[in-house]
Amino acid sequence: MDVILKTIEDAAKVRGTGIAKRTPEYLTAKINEGKAIIALKDDEFAGFCYLESWGGKKFVANSGLIVVDKFRGHGLAKAIKRKAFELSRILFPHSKIFGLTTGLAVMKINSDLGYRPVTFSELTDDDEFWKGCTSCVNYDILVRTNRKHCLCTGMLYTPPGEKSDEGKSEEKKHSTKELDVVNRWVKFKQFVLLRRGNNQKKNLRQKRSILSTLFSI
């Protein structure tokens, strides 16, 4: 368990965005409940992902996807993600599956699995899920926008039966086009939100400077 926690912590530092922090007890429970994917090379730990349900099991998230550095570049992340997706469909067949990511590689994997980019309003409103974002360096953006926007992109898979055959056909037809749109949207969102944050910091410094001058007179 220690190596899993250490790998998650190291991955969060490299990405520069938060992976929800979980206790050893929490992850152990997920493994014992059969809600985790563990990748091994012989007896060596290679990767990990676990399932979480939210909003009365209306939503499921595949969380904490990590791959040890030495095993990257061989499609392992995609294989783990696919297994986690398949397990989600078995354990929660009627739940919507969603995720938040800033990585284009993960977006591509999600898109191939049938996920679609959506606004945060279409994701779970379970406060316990969003508390997991507090460990992210960009959490202030999420707070400033009242949980409507952040640097992450929300992606959602809706189970069959809630879409028409025509709708599913259209999704498949436009999946590549949508991924390109997501790519451009992420870059635009990063530019706008980060600039807004920098402007707010600049305005705050200016206000402090003015107050300092006033009270020093």
In a domain, 217, yes or no: no
In a domain, 114, yes or no: yes
Separation of alpha carbons 88 and 51, rounded Å: 7
Give the domain CATH number at 22. 3.40.630.30
In a domain, 132, yes or no: yes
pLDDT of residue 189: 59
In a domain, 168, yes or no: yes
Asked if 145 contacts 119 with a C-beta cutoff of 8 angstroms, the reply is no
Amino acid occupying residue 121: S
Helix (H) or strand (E) holding 67: strand 59-67
Separation of alpha carbons 132 and 159, rounded Å: 25
pLDDT in tens, 63-108: 888 899 899 999 999 999 999 999 999 999 999 999 998 888 889 9
In a domain, 213, yes or no: no
In a domain, 85, yes or no: yes
What are the percentages of helix, strand and coil residues in the chain, rounded to 5?
Answer: 55, 20, 25
pLDDT in tens, 157-191: 999 876 544 444 444 554 555 556 565 666 665 56
DSSP 23: -
Separation of alpha carbons 60 and 40, rounded Å: 24
What are the C-alpha distances in Å from 137 to residues 16, 32, 36, 116, 130?
7, 31, 26, 25, 14
pLDDT in tens, 4-42: 877 777 766 666 555 666 788 988 999 999 999 999 999
pLDDT at 151 over 90: no
The domain of 189 spans: 2-208
Say how many C-beta atoms besides its own lie within 10 A of residue 122's C-beta.
15
In a domain, 37, yes or no: yes
- 44 - beta bridge partners? 41
Strand-pair category, 44-54 with 96-101: unpaired
What 3-state DSSP class applies to 109? helix
In a domain, 21, yes or no: yes
Separation of alpha carbons 47 and 26, rounded Å: 17
Separation of alpha carbons 7 and 44, rounded Å: 13
pLDDT in tens, 45-60: 999 999 999 999 999 9
* pTM beyond cutoff 0.75: no
Separation of alpha carbons 112 and 32, rounded Å: 29
pLDDT of residue 103: 82
What total number of domains does the chain contain?
Answer: 1
**pLDDT confidence band for 132 (50 / 70 / 90):** confident
Separation of alpha carbons 86 and 55, rounded Å: 20
pLDDT of residue 19: 62
First CA to last CA distance, the chain? 60
H-state helical runs in the chain: 2-15, 24-32, 76-91, 104-113, 127-131, 139-144, 165-216
